[in-house]
């Protein structure tokens, strides 16, 4: 199992390995691991992604990993602060389905959108050039609480 997941400061694009793995692939981009590692970790926890992934399963996985999440509905990128987001958007490839795109907003509020479909032959994808025009259904902000964790000073044994 994957332990000690921390959000990256330098996200790198990954392609989704199968048609139903957009959420795990976006999480892989957020945590700087390979998508297959997230998929295998989910499988070890009993999460089956073969029919896609529900927001309930997503929240279950994140909570078991100690990652906070906060969902914003239909905000069209308004009010998103710096951080890591899973954006639920209409699929560009299958009518009536949704797709997950990873958004990263750095400390200077520059937004990058990374679509796990990018580079897959024959598939349309959301461009990082137009992230503020995403027609989002919802956005889930990820938080690893690393800014709250301070090293504990060593204690002295009192005898």
Q: pLDDT class for 131, splitting at 50, 70, 90?
A: low
The ranges assigned to domains in the chain are 22-143
- With tokens 């400390």, the residue in question is 107
Nearest to 119 by CA among 23, 42, 12: 12
pLDDT of 81: 85
Task: Tell me the per-residue pLDDT of 74-126, one tens digit each, with 9 for 90 and over.
Answer: 655 666 788 999 999 999 999 989 999 999 999 898 888 899 999 999 998 98
Q: Which CATH number fits domain 22-143: 3.100.10.20, 3.40.50.150, 3.90.1170.50, 3.90.70.10?
A: 3.90.70.10
Instruction: Please tell me whether residue 151 adopts helix, strand or coil conformation.
Output: coil
Q: What are phi and psi of 138, to 5 degrees?
A: -160, 165
Residue 32 Rama label (left phi>0; alpha psi -120 to 50; beta): left
Q: What is the mean pLDDT of residues 34-56?
A: 95
Averaged pLDDT score across all residues of the chain: 88
Residue 127 has pLDDT above 70, yes or no: yes
Picking from 6-15, 41-50, 51-60, 133-142, which range would have the lowest pLDDT averaged per residue? 133-142
Q: What is the mean pLDDT of residues 20-30?
A: 97
pLDDT of 24: 97
pLDDT of 146: 79
């Amino acid at each position: 199992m994957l332990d000690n997941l921390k959000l990256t400061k330098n996200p790198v694009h990954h392609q989704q390995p199968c048609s139903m793995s957009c959420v795990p692939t976006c999480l892989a981009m957020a945590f700087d691991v390979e998508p297959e590692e997230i998929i295998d970790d989910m499988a070890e926890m009993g999460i089956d992604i073969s029919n896609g992934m529900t927001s309930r399963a997503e929240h279950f996985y994140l909570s078991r990993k100690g990652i906070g999440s906060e969902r914003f509905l239909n905000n069209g990128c308004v009010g998103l602060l710096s951080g890591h987001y899973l954006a639920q958007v209409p699929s560009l490839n299958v009518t009536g389905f949704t797709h997950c795109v990873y958004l990263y907003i750095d400390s200077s509020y520059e937004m990058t959108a990374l679509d796990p479909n990018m580079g897959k032959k024959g598939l349309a994808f959301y461009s990082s050039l137009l992230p503020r025009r995403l027609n989002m259904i919802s956005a889930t902000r990820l938080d690893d609480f690393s800014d709250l964790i301070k090293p504990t000073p060593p204690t002295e044994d009192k005898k």
